[in-house]
């Protein structure tokens, strides 16, 4: 077989993109180590008495309504016999490295999204006659045979559709959206499947009579921009299956942050302010290894209230003064004005000297 070529010279309409997503990855690794846990509800997450949250869970646990980011205490209420383990991140990284090594057999154009998720661009490879479908199937088989982990894959012309497709037949599934199927597939797609459309955006779209991409296509670009600002243009594009983003093999860090969940709610603003010094100290320590090459462009504060609503406040500044963080803390707290379970602080960072601006990543 010929070696894959790393160049990415195809136009968006000619690309062959594979999105690969390991099925309930942390839980899957735990079930490999403990086969007796395979058929029982299992979750990896923080202890309920420490107000931990679920990182991931297996499919028997999902049958009880448990999902990632759910408080562990609530998960145990839904399923009292849930097996909750703290996890072993070193082991997860080891397995993930094995999996990514398999990906690299097929292409060098790999964009890691997380420890268990990645985009691959196989547009120019001659392996398996250049068939993205056959490559995706081969990758899934090799990962399963060599690591015991199942991977769901989506194949399409762009990253948006490939990601939607990878979730279509989970777990252990493969979904291919060919160019001639794309228009029909997108038209029937529910808007909640669009990345960035959370519950609030979905509710707003439903208020406009929009539940599918077909209905979203009936709204003009101007209407969407009026309702959703800059995100309106993105909605207009994705409703038509348009996504010109390339698979990027390198993402420059654009932000750095720390956050802390408190064992007892902070009752008011004064108690939140008391936590600023230790949070800023932690942030300064994390930033130290970037200090020589990166400039601070802005400051951000995150507040999550005891009802799990959250907000962030930020400002442009190259100086991390406590007074600025305190002002942002006050602004954010007054939006909810109730007890707080989590606080976070962070910096927006400028590009490295001599490098172009990279894609902005979420701060928290």
Q: How many CB atoms lie within 10 A of CB 282?
A: 15
33 is catalytic: no
307 marked as binding residue: no
Residue 30, C-beta contacts closer than 8 angstroms, at least 6 positions apart: 37, 42, 44, 85, 87, 88
Question: Three-state SS for 256?
Answer: strand
Q: From 221, 217, 134, select the one nearest 183 (Cα to Cα).
A: 217
Gap between the Cα atoms of 88 and 262, Å rounded: 23
Rg of the chain on CA atoms, in Å: 22
> Cβ distance 154 to 141 under 8 Å?
no
- Of the candidates 30, 111, 117, 314, the residue annotated as catalytic is 117
Q: In angstroms, how far is CA 34 from the centroid of its own chain?
A: 27
> Cβ distance 110 to 104 under 8 Å?
yes
145 marked as binding residue: no
Residues annotated as part of the active site: 117
- Which residues are documented as binding site for Mg(2+)? 21, 116
- Which residues are documented as binding site? 21, 116
């Amino acid at each position: 077989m010929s070696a894959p070529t790393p160049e990415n010279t195809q136009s968006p309409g000619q690309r062959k993109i594979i999105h690969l997503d390991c099925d309930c990855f942390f839980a899957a690794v735990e079930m490999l180590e403990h086969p007796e846990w395979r058929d029982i509800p299992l979750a990896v997450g923080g202890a309920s008495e420490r107000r931990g949250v679920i990182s991931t869970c297996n499919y028997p646990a999902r049958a009880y309504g448990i999902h990632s980011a759910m408080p562990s205490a609530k998960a145990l209420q839904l399923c009292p016999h849930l097996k909750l383990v703290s996890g072993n991140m070193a082991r997860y990284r080891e397995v993930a490295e094995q999996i990514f090594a398999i990906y690299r057999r097929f292409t060098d154009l790999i964009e890691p999204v997380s420890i268990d998720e990645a985009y691959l661009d196989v547009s120019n490879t001659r392996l398996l006659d250049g068939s993205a479908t056959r490559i995706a199937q081969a990758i899934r088989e090799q990962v399963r045979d060599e690591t015991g982990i199942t991977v769901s894959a989506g194949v399409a012309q762009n990253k948006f559709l490939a990601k939607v497709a990878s979730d279509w037949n989970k777990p252990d599934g493969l979904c291919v959206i060919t160019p001639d199927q794309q228009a029909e597939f997108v038209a029937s797609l529910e808007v909640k499947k669009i990345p960035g459309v959370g519950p609030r955006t979905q509710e707003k779209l439903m208020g406009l009579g929009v539940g599918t991409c077909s209905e979203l296509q009936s709204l003009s670009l101007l209407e969407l921009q009026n309702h959703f600002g800059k995100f309106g243009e993105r909605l207009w594009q994705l409703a038509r299956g348009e996504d010109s983003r390339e698979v990027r093999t390198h993402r420059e860090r654009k932000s750095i942050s720390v956050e802390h969940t408190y064992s007892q709610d902070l009752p008011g603003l004064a108690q939140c302010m008391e936590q600023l010094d230790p949070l800023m100290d932690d942030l300064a320590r994390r930033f130290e290894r970037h200090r020589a090459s990166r400039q601070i462009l802005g400051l951000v504060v995150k507040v999550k209230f005891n009802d799990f609503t959250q907000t962030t406040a930020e400002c442009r500044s190259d100086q991390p003064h406590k007074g600025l963080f305190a002002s942002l803390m006050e602004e954010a707290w007054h939006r909810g004005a109730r007890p707080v379970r989590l606080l976070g602080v962070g910096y927006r960072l400028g590009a490295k000297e001599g490098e172009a601006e990279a894609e902005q990543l979420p701060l928290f």
